[in-house]
Amino acid sequence: MERPAAFIRSSAEFQLSMTIHPDRLATAQDSPAPGSIERFQGALPRAAVRRVLGNDRRREVLRCLLAEDGPLSVSTLVARIADAEHDATAVTSLLELRQRVHVSLCRTHLPLLQEHRALAYDQVQGLVSPGATLPAFGPLLDEEGLEGPIDSRLEQRSE
């Protein structure tokens, strides 16, 4: 059954009017973050940089990509991040932790990083490649890598 053109047009207009972009809170007064992010056309506002770097797992993904020469598989990223977060005394097994990391990367962190052009995420092949703005995040990341659990590094920083 075909729908009238007026119905299709009004549905499309409704969908467009209902689109919400909670991460686009930047205003005209918001300036780019200091450093090399300004080199890129369409510089990222400070709020976007804060959002990208505001999560431990996103920072670890950026570090892993900066350390590699080319694309990484999602499973490699999951393994590195889960191994870094794993605490042998915790009740959660490494397998459960890897499953949780995989879900959070695929549903939340990788799409957000792709939206900010820090990486390219190919869901079909399960590959993550460096994006246009990735090199700009390098100087903004702390020097520590995957040496220990993320929580312990946060505790060390606060002391």
Report domain extents, the chain: 45-139
Token digits for 53? 């770097």
Q: With CA atoms as reference, report the closest residue to 128 among 74, 60, 59.
A: 74
The DSSP-derived string for the chain is -PPPHHHHHHHHHHHHHT---TT----TTPPBPSSGGGGSSSPPBHHHHHHHHTSHHHHHHHHHHHHSSS-EEHHHHHHHHHHHH--TTSSS-HHHHHHHHHHHIIIIIHHHHHHTTSEEEETTTTEEEE-TTHHHHGGGS-S--SSS-HHHHHHHHH-
Task: Provide the CATH number for the domain formed by 45-139 in this structure.
Answer: 1.10.10
pLDDT at 142: 67
pLDDT at 150: 44
Per-residue pLDDT of the chain (159 residues; tens, 9 = 90+): 455 544 444 444 434 333 444 444 444 344 544 544 444 435 678 888 889 999 999 999 999 999 998 999 999 999 999 999 888 778 889 999 999 999 999 999 999 999 999 999 999 999 999 999 999 888 888 654 444 444 444 444 444
The span from the first CA to the last CA of the chain, in angstroms, equals: 67
pLDDT at 157: 41
